[in-house]
Structure 1
Amino acid sequence: MKILLFDDHRLFGESLKKLLIESQFVSLCYYVERENDFFRTFREKEFDIILLDINLKNSSEKNGFEILADILSINPDSKVVILSSYDMPIYKKMAFDKGAADFINKSVSMEELVERLKRVLCNKTYYNKIPDVEVLTEREIEILRAICKGDIKKKIAKNLFISERTLYNHIQNIYDKLEVSNTVEAYNKAIKLGYIEPLM
């Protein structure tokens, strides 16, 4: 199979490229670390699978989900696999909802990675392994992050140009969706699901 890998960490990208090429199932692997190089290579050559990270802050103003949408707008038949260190249910759901062929954690072994890529090549995915997650709206995510930062509710309502009553309704909806009862539980659940990036 022919693979195009886009990741902003050169050491990881170059190492993975070398390991993939050593596999008998991979005939070609291009690695790029910049968005412009990625789309130029994507348009000039044909690939069976595209491996794409979510966090591309060192290489692009867009995240992997936005790049995924751009890829599929150019070629809807592209097989895009998200390869990320964030193994969180909400990220998995977002990836599949946006058209990814699979979502693989960077901690997998090379053998498993290749097997998963072979499955993708045969149009098979692991979608049925994703837990049921009720996704928060953009406004709810905005409020959740503000609450978890410690902002007082009056300030949050003012910044969002909504009444405190409306804010409390949003907060209750957030708690209901996350199945929590207070801010501490909401914070912990938000990290687990991927709404808030853990401190690393």
Structure 2
Amino acid sequence: MAVNIVIADDHKMVREGLKCLLELDKAYNVVGEAGDGYECLDVVSKTNPDIIIMDINMPNLDGLQTLKIMRQENINKKVIMVTLYDDVDYLIKALDYKCNGYVLKNSDFSILKDAIDSVEKNEIYVEPSLTVMLNSSLARRDVKKSMIDSLTKRELEILKLIAQGLLNKEIAAMLNISERTVKNHISNIFKKIDVSDRTQAAVFAIKNGIVEIK
């Protein structure tokens, strides 16, 4: 039985090219196309595909946002993300949103076919050229998670306030503790997250989602 596929990409020529290549093989059947995330959600609901091949960078609603909505709404279709950019942060975010495959657009068509076949077997497929970067990035993320986990509840509170630009005196007043205690906590925080000043601590907090600056 053929694998039913929806292609979501804002470039019509890309969609048509992929469709022609895929349908040269009777194992694949393109049942729908979409030019942005909103159209993709609509097409998926109407065609009930096995796999969605979706570009990350689309107008109106991009691929990552579309994937996130699908998972939030329990649309558990298998999704292969495709992109021009070998940015590991995109890859990690896509995996966090439970994509099933990740392929670069400048790869050989055989790579996409490998991805489709792997995903159809309920395997996760990541472009081979990205696996080294992915493993390295995940290792760094594990180290940072370990650093964050080492912080006490009070240290996390103070780190958030540092990131918000508060001075020691203001932190002490807000938490009803002495400035000396604040300084001791900050010294411990710097050691645990391996930074040497307040600016670096604030950047660490923002980059790792400990605090959001609006």
TM-score by length of 1: 0.64
Counterpart in the other structure of 1:7: 9
Counterpart in the other structure of 1:101: 100
Q: Which has the higher contact order (CA 8 A, sep 6+)?
A: 1
Counterpart in the other structure of 1:38: 40
Cα 1:13/1:28, change in 2 over 3 Å: closer
Counterpart in the other structure of 1:170: 202
Aligned partner of 1:132: which letter? Answer: S
The separation in 1 between residues aligned to 2:25 and 2:109, in whole angstroms, is: 9
Counterpart in the other structure of 1:115: 114
Q: 1:134-145 alignment to 2 at 5 Å? A: 134=140
The separation in 1 between residues aligned to 2:4 and 2:90, in whole angstroms, is: 26
The separation in 2 between residues aligned to 1:161 and 1:14, in whole angstroms, is: 49
- How far did residue 166 of structure 1 move? 4.1
Q: Count how many residue pairs are aligned between Structure 1 and Structure 2.
A: 149
Higher fraction of helix: 2
Structure 1 vs Structure 2: percent identity of aligned residues? 20
- Is the contact made by 1:4 and 1:47 (CA closer than 8 Å) also made in structure 2? yes
- Is the contact made by 1:84 and 1:106 (CA closer than 8 Å) also made in structure 2? yes
- Is the contact made by 1:17 and 1:31 (CA closer than 8 Å) also made in structure 2? no
Quick check: 1:131 aligned with 2:130? no
TM-score by length of 2: 0.60
- Is the contact made by 1:17 and 1:30 (CA closer than 8 Å) also made in structure 2? no
- Is the contact made by 2:55 and 2:81 (CA closer than 8 Å) also made in structure 1? yes
The separation in 2 between residues aligned to 1:16 and 1:6, in whole angstroms, is: 10
Counterpart in the other structure of 1:23: 25
